[in-house]
Structure 1
Amino acid sequence: MSTQMHAGYPLSGITVIDLSHVYNGPYATFLMAMAGATVIKVEPFTGEHLRSRGDMGGSALPFAMLNSNKKPVTLNLKSEQGKDLLREMVSRADILIENFAPGVMDRLGVGAKALHEVNPRLIYGSSSGYGKTGPYKDFPAMDLVMQAMCGVIDSTGHPDQPPVKAGAAICDFMAGIHLYAAVMTALYERERTGTGRVVEVSMQDATYASLASNLGMLHARGDQAPARTGNRHGGLGISPYNVYATTDGYVVLNAPGDHHFRAILDVMGKGNLKDDPRFLTRSSRVENFAAVDELIETWTATLSKEEIATRMLEAKVPCAPVRSLKEVMQDRNMHERGSLQWVDHPHLGRVVLPHSPLVFEGVERLAIEPSLPLGGSNEEVFGAWLGHSDAELREFESSGIIGPRPDPTP
């Protein structure tokens, strides 16, 4: 197995052992893979949770989205020989990522301290709901739970209705992005010191700053601050800032500066209201946000969302149609940039998959290699890379140390 196959990319030659599952860790390692790293995905014999989650068939595409360009292997980490194989991999690797509950890896005997004895240059990255220290460290955590604990759910929805969760798995992906940042920071340090480091990111810590507008309003208004502001600005500091009905759906409009609102009035044919004291400044518009919203929606309700967006964007007003997921998957900007790509997946058929948002000028985006079946790289990793013979691999299989080779048929 070559770790130099992506020469010219930032992480070419870097080998990552990925023990993570679902969204958090796998997104961090996906970013590494698309930056040129060799990512070996280590899974139990049943596969990581996202391979078989739920009964609605909805987990297959998310797994494919987050596990392109990775080399999946199966390994029994409860067996001593399985742990020995992990140590062999770690001795040749640069980074290990896991998002088990705190203490799991230590109880298995392959925690950060033990693995640093094998490879002092290893960067050990972990992520969990609440972190490895503190009174919550042993609490189970998933994105829904973290949205509740972080204030996301209480901040989402309309003030006269019950709170709702964010549609996006915001806490999982916030943590994944920060985990990537922490690991890359430690990798930079290792280039200067030659020594690896343990880094960790909690979902709770990673999410807090995203509520800056809401926290600002709480600081300014105390108990008078509404918990939820619907589609208005979280800090109620900008008007207009809302979702407005159209003849065929909705648009969003945002006027962060006074010149934006004057442009909106021009587009609507309401230039005569530019000197209206209710609308003159951002502060006055915030005080009269109901009147601002009524003025705008009276106009938007007569036009289609695309026509409104076209007119507003021509006037340099922040505006967009509220689009369905089906529309977003076919976004022409992301497809033209290569951020989204149609891929013929061997198990899912023709699907849209995301590339990394990280663009490295001077090299083309790496080709997306579709996610492989469970254990699809066992022979490449344990055989070609670690040097075990075919007979040894068969013995590992029969002894329950690695899983059986996958069925070659889709």
Structure 2
Amino acid sequence: MTRPLEDVRVLDLGQIYQGGYCGLLLSYLGADVVKVEPPWGENVRTRSEDGYPPQFQYLNASKRGITLDLKSEAGREALERLVEKADVLLENFATGKMAALGVGYDRLSEVNPELVYAHGSGYGDTGPYAEYPAMDLTVQAMSGVMDTTGFTDGPPVKAGPAVCDFVGATHLAVGILGALFRRATTGEGDYVEVGMFDCMYPTLASPVAAWVSESDAPARTGNRHSGLSIAPYNAYEVEDGHVAIICIAERHWESLAEVMGREDLVGREGWDSKVERARRIEAVDAAVEAWLDGRTKGEVVETLLDANVPCAPVRTVPEVVEDPHLRERGMLHDLPNPGEGREETPVPGMPIKFAGSDAPEVSPAPSLGEHTEEVLTEVAGYTAAELDRLDGSGSTSE
């Protein structure tokens, strides 16, 4: 059966992580995604001398790749001819960059009134920060992510993953889907813009809740709950590493207490509700730590899962990329690594599953400009004579 975006063509001018992952999601949804790069390659390619860093493979699988020099008249003409036959154009350049090149939304919507033009940025198109340069790190700093990450007595710490880039990419993909859905009814294109800064505020639900309730919860709580309103909730040390344990429901706490041999804590005054236990975080953690003393990750996790207590071992990246659950779910695809390092890159699959269609096949990311002639001929209608005038940059010569 077909995937949801079959027959949808996307011009992916995205770069680094936000744009790259948005295009990857659309590709996995069935769209024909054409990666459009400048002749020298998009920014993430510069992370290795050979131009093939694992990050590029990771986020640009299952796309076709072309090069266009949008600083040239010929490159802009080629883009416009592609836009005539496209459904979506996505980019995450600095706000105003595409307009300055003469191929912003105003111009491209004249070329194709049905075009869904999607722009991702750090801070959005409007507001006091709109022109600030933005990367994941700076948005983590500005949005409160760094201030709420780390331990109480330590400095602010960035989140390990590029959370702002990927949350922004996912929101941009949702916006594109919404615009395509509306276009199916109205026949009209749209301009969709997403700022990563906007996307991060909803993730502060627990820290903001602590502020609203006027609690004295510190900004940084280490591995404890951000609002210090749940206990136990922590990554606890064991003999061979750490185990994350959390009790959301009363049944979880009751099961944990039974496993620990501390049935005396169930229903005990001062321990008999989530709110009361949160007020005694130190004592709760001490009780859990006493039980964990001398135990291993495997032993603890097996025991707690049998008791239906939410828990997990704190795992390393090498362990995750070999994970059998991710592999069975189609989330790990070992594709050849054309660059230096290991022979294969474990490219992510599609997290969204549909009962009505098969999982997408995952093919290697394109080499720089690999499909330029193919796409310009097939989509933009370039003739053999026009292709003969192609220069080495992937743009027709002026």
Return the TM-score normalized by structure 2.
0.95
The Cα shift of 1:398 comes to: 5.5
Structure 1 counterpart of 2:316: 324
Secondary structure, counterpart of 2:353 in structure 1? coil
Given candidates 332, 355, 370, the residue that maps to 1:361 is 355
Indicate yes or no: 2:387 matched with 1:397: no
Secondary structure, counterpart of 2:47 in structure 1? coil
Indicate yes or no: 2:168 matched with 1:178: no
**Which sits farther off after the overlay, 174-183 or 299-308?**
299-308
Query: CA 1:58/1:290 → structure 2, altered by over 3 Å: closer, same or farther?
Result: farther
Contact 2:45–2:53 under 8 Å retained in 1: yes
In structure 2, distance between residues paired with 1:174 and 1:398: 36
In structure 2, distance between residues paired with 1:359 and 1:54: 33
Contact 2:271–2:277 under 8 Å retained in 1: yes
Identity of paired residues, percent?
43
Contact 1:346–1:370 under 8 Å retained in 2: no
Indicate yes or no: 2:225 matched with 1:233: yes
Residue 36 of structure 1 aligns to which amino acid in structure 2? G
**Which sits farther off after the overlay, 230-239 or 264-273?**
264-273
Per-residue CA deviations over 1:367-390 (Å, capped at 9, x if unaligned) read 110101100111210123323234
Structure 2 counterpart of 1:3: none
Given candidates 87, 96, 101, the residue that maps to 1:108 is 101
Residue 329 of structure 1 aligns to which amino acid in structure 2? V
Structure 1 counterpart of 2:81: 88
Structure 1 counterpart of 2:143: 150
In structure 2, distance between residues paired with 1:193 and 1:399: 38
Structure 2 counterpart of 1:406: none
> Where do residues 216-227 of structure 1 align in structure 2 (5 Å cutoff)?
216-221=209-214, 224-227=216-219
Contact 1:146–1:171 under 8 Å retained in 2: yes
User: Which runs of 5 or more structure 1 residues have no equivalent in the other structure?
Assistant: 1-6, 404-410
User: Which runs of 5 or more structure 2 residues have no equivalent in the other structure?
Assistant: none
Secondary structure, counterpart of 1:375 in structure 2? coil
The Cα shift of 1:215 comes to: 0.5
Structure 1 counterpart of 2:252: 260
Indicate yes or no: 2:263 matched with 1:271: yes
Given candidates 83, 98, 112, the residue that maps to 2:91 is 98
Structure 1 counterpart of 2:275: 283
Per-residue CA deviations over 1:38-57 (Å, capped at 9, x if unaligned) read 001110111001112267x9
In structure 2, distance between residues paired with 1:164 and 1:399: 41
Indicate yes or no: 2:335 matched with 1:351: no
The Cα shift of 1:345 comes to: 4.4
Residue 237 of structure 2 aligns to which amino acid in structure 1? A
Given candidates 27, 33, 38, the residue that maps to 1:33 is 27
In structure 2, distance between residues paired with 1:328 and 1:402: 45
Per-residue CA deviations over 1:120-165 (Å, capped at 9, x if unaligned) read 0000000111111111111100000000000000000011111110
In structure 1, distance between residues paired with 2:58 and 2:82: 25
Per-residue CA deviations over 1:340-367 (Å, capped at 9, x if unaligned) read 2223345563231110111121222111
Higher relative contact order (CA 8 A, sep 6+): 2
In structure 1, distance between residues paired with 2:12 and 2:51: 23
Secondary structure, counterpart of 2:213 in structure 1? helix
Residue 333 of structure 2 aligns to which amino acid in structure 1? Q
In structure 2, distance between residues paired with 1:175 and 1:399: 31
Contact 1:344–1:350 under 8 Å retained in 2: yes
In structure 2, distance between residues paired with 1:66 and 1:344: 14
In structure 1, distance between residues paired with 2:323 and 2:270: 38
Contact 2:57–2:345 under 8 Å retained in 1: no
Given candidates 287, 291, 302, the residue that maps to 2:294 is 302
Structure 1 counterpart of 2:45: 51
Structure 1 counterpart of 2:63: 70
The Cα shift of 1:402 comes to: 5.7
Secondary structure, counterpart of 2:84 in structure 1? helix
Contact 2:350–2:360 under 8 Å retained in 1: no
Structure 1 counterpart of 2:305: 313
Structure 1 counterpart of 2:159: 166
The Cα shift of 1:313 comes to: 1.1
In structure 1, distance between residues paired with 2:267 and 2:99: 67
In structure 1, distance between residues paired with 2:54 and 2:315: 20
> Where do residues 370-389 of structure 1 align in structure 2 (5 Å cutoff)?
370-389=364-383
Secondary structure, counterpart of 2:389 in structure 1? helix
Structure 2 counterpart of 1:196: 189
The Cα shift of 1:337 comes to: 1.3
The Cα shift of 1:270 comes to: 2.0
Residue 83 of structure 1 aligns to which amino acid in structure 2? R
Given candidates 98, 111, 136, the residue that maps to 1:118 is 111
Query: CA 1:402/1:64 → structure 2, altered by over 3 Å: closer, same or farther?
Result: farther
Contact 1:121–1:194 under 8 Å retained in 2: yes
In structure 2, distance between residues paired with 1:24 and 1:399: 25
Residue 362 of structure 1 aligns to which amino acid in structure 2? G
Secondary structure, counterpart of 2:146 in structure 1? helix
The Cα shift of 1:26 comes to: 1.3
In structure 2, distance between residues paired with 1:399 and 1:9: 34
The Cα shift of 1:62 comes to: 1.6
Aligned length: 395
Return the TM-score normalized by structure 1.
0.93
In structure 1, distance between residues paired with 2:252 and 2:392: 69
Query: CA 1:54/1:379 → structure 2, altered by over 3 Å: closer, same or farther?
Result: closer
Secondary structure, counterpart of 2:118 in structure 1? strand
Contact 1:76–1:402 under 8 Å retained in 2: no
In structure 2, distance between residues paired with 1:46 and 1:90: 22
